Amino acid sequence: IISIDIILVLWTWTMPNENASRVFRGTAVALVGFGAASLALQLSRDRLKRLILQRILTSPPSLKRLKDLYVVYKLHKRLACCFPDNEEENRAAGEFAEQGHLETDVICAVPSKSGTTWTQTILHHLRLGGADVPYETSNEVVPWIEVYPALFGRRAQDVAQPAGPFRVFKSHLTWAQLEASGLAARRPRLVYVYRDLADVLVSLARFVPPYAQLAPAAVAPREYCWVAARLRVERGLRNLVAFWRRRDAPGVLFLFYDDLLADHRGAVARLAAHAGLGDALDPGLLDRVAAETTHAAMAAEGRWRRYADL
- Residues 6 or more apart whose CB falls under 8 angstroms from that of 240 comprise 194
pLDDT, one tens digit per residue, over 63-110 is 787 888 888 888 877 776 556 567 888 888 999 999 877 889 999 999
Give the residue extent of every domain in the chain.
1-43, 86-307
Predicted pLDDT at 199: 95
Residue 265 CA to residue 129 CA, distance in Å, equals: 15
Per DSSP, the three-state class of 194 is strand
Per mean pLDDT, which of 27-41, 108-122, 147-161 is the most reliable?
108-122
- Exposure class string for 140-166: b at 16+ Cβ within 10 A, else e: ebbbbbbbbbeeeeeebbebebeeeeb
pLDDT (tens digit, 9 = 90+) per residue, 100-144? 778 899 999 999 999 999 999 999 999 998 887 878 888 889 999
Q: CA 288 to CA 281: how far, in whole Å?
A: 12
Q: What is the pLDDT of residue 133?
A: 80
Neighbours of 251 (CB within 10 A): 16
Across 154-158, 169-173, 220-224, the highest mean pLDDT is recorded for 169-173
Q: Could you give the CA distance from residue 214 to residue 74 in angstroms, rounded to a whole number?
A: 11
DSSP 214: -
Q: What band does 41 get if pLDDT is binned at 50, 70 and 90?
A: very low
DSSP 144: B
Q: What is the pLDDT of residues 214-267, one digit of tens each?
A: 887 788 888 888 888 888 899 999 999 999 999 999 999 999 999 999 999 999
What pLDDT score does 111 carry? 94
State the CATH architecture for 86-307: 3-Layer(aba) Sandwich (3.40)
